[in-house]
Amino acid sequence: MISDTRRRCRTGGMLIGAKLACMLRITLDRQSASPVTTSEIPFDERGGALRGCLDLVAGRFPRFLLGGAVPAGLLPVFHFHDVSRGELQPKLEFLADNGYRTVRADDIAAHAARQTTLPPSSVALCFDDAWASLWTVAAPLLREYNLTAITYAIPARIEDAAGCRATIADHTGPAWDGPPLVTWPELRELHTSGLVDVQSHTYSHSMIFHSTMVGGFVTPSYAATPLLNRPQLSAQPMRFVTSADLGAPLYPARSRMSAARRVLVSVDAHDRCVRHVAESGGAAFFGRPGWQEELARIADSARATERESESAQTRAIEEELDRSRVILNERLRTQSIRHICLPWGVSSDQTAAALVRVGYRSAFANRLRGLHAVRPGDDLHWLKRLPNKYIFRLPGRGRRLWG
């Protein structure tokens, strides 16, 4: 039995740890895993301040975040999404001024597998999703500071184009017109130049509905839902719930790479609700009383759902993994796609097994154990990273430990 004194010490230590985490604003900075509700999402698939506090108390954050050194064998890996020059340039300048060198995905896997020893001051810079700013902003800055990056691309979301867009280095008009993600010509140029190591972020980066419970409807405010957080309505043909689908029912959603089995919701219910809103005033429909009940009746009257089998779930996961690699290799004329970052950091036992069967050498994924860095001996299919704001916590001139 623990004495009162020991109990008080332990409780006090946890409170201090939680307070430190909140002061340091240590969170996983993941985007919300569902555009509707998180009530049915397991805790280990969520981010947020509480998760950050618990991770700090559990010792999951590298000590250099609190002012320590980076020990031998520890590889800090930082992730970015869409970036601006004002956000990215100071971080790259800090790394270059302090002699940090960047590594590629093969280096990360070899390091975790104890097949190589990386030089001191090695870091990895990962740009998830391959947003257009990877081409227009990040690439010119990486070249300027003699650094390289890894991008995890989503082939189902990439558009073709006649050529590459202007960048911040061109000084010839707007640098970010066009699709929100890089185009195929831009991704090929990044890969061919060696500046960016292109790897996989699954084929479609999809949320799937896993429950028949209507959690809400698409309203005008849905336009603020991040593009890649909008759930997939159907796989064949691939169709996502968009901000134009006013009135569409929304159900609890989780990553396709999670343990959740997909519920094949009624596309007819979706279309009928959208049509009803369009015929009833569009956005103005949501200002009249009882609109939720109207849409709920339509959704219920057309409800026809089916849950996928375990074997269908396995096939769908394997297709997401394999198709991404095949298409990226074909479009980039390479065979170098052998690493993956799983969307929202979400994996499962099924996905981990599928990664091995499909042939991925390494994967970044979150779970409630493991350090948020890469060390020799780490499980290659459960590697961890840190948000890019912690670059300034690295040792060196201009280090920032607070704020």
Domain parsing of the chain, residue ranges: 4-204+316-393, 216-250+266-304
Q: What is the pTM of this model?
A: 0.90
For CA atoms 347, 348, 354, 360, the dihedral sign is positive
Task: Write down the pLDDT at residue 175.
Answer: 52
Residue range 28-53, pLDDT digits in tens: 444 333 344 455 678 778 777 877 78
Q: How many CB atoms lie within 10 A of CB 84?
A: 12
Q: What are phi and psi of 140, to 5 degrees?
A: -60, -35
**Mean pLDDT in residue range 332-345:** 97
Residue range 134-177, pLDDT digits in tens: 999 999 999 999 999 999 999 999 999 999 999 999 866 555 68
- Reported as a pLDDT band with limits 50, 70 and 90, residue 14 is very low
Cα distance between residue 400 and residue 403, in whole Å: 8
Residue range 79-105, pLDDT digits in tens: 999 999 999 999 999 999 999 999 999
Cα distance between residue 385 and residue 79, in whole Å: 7
Residue range 252-299, pLDDT digits in tens: 999 999 999 999 999 999 999 999 999 999 999 999 999 999 999 999
**Residues 355 and 26 sit within 8 Å (Cβ to Cβ):** no
- Reported as a pLDDT band with limits 50, 70 and 90, residue 403 is low
Question: Angle between the 184-193 and 310-332 helix axes, to the nearest 10 degrees?
Answer: 70
Cα distance between residue 361 and residue 244, in whole Å: 39
- Above pLDDT 70, what percent of the chain? 88
Q: Which amino acid is located at 157 in the chain? A: R
Tell whether the model's pLDDT for residue 15 goes beyond 60.
Answer: no
- In terms of Cα–Cα distance, which of 375, 401, 372 is closest to 79? 372
Task: Write down the pLDDT at residue 22.
Answer: 43
Tell whether the model's pLDDT for residue 369 goes beyond 90.
Answer: no
The rounded mean pLDDT for the chain is 89
Task: Considering the domain delimited by 4-204+316-393, tell me its CATH architecture.
Answer: Alpha-Beta Barrel (3.20)
**Residues 261 and 351 sit within 8 Å (Cβ to Cβ):** no
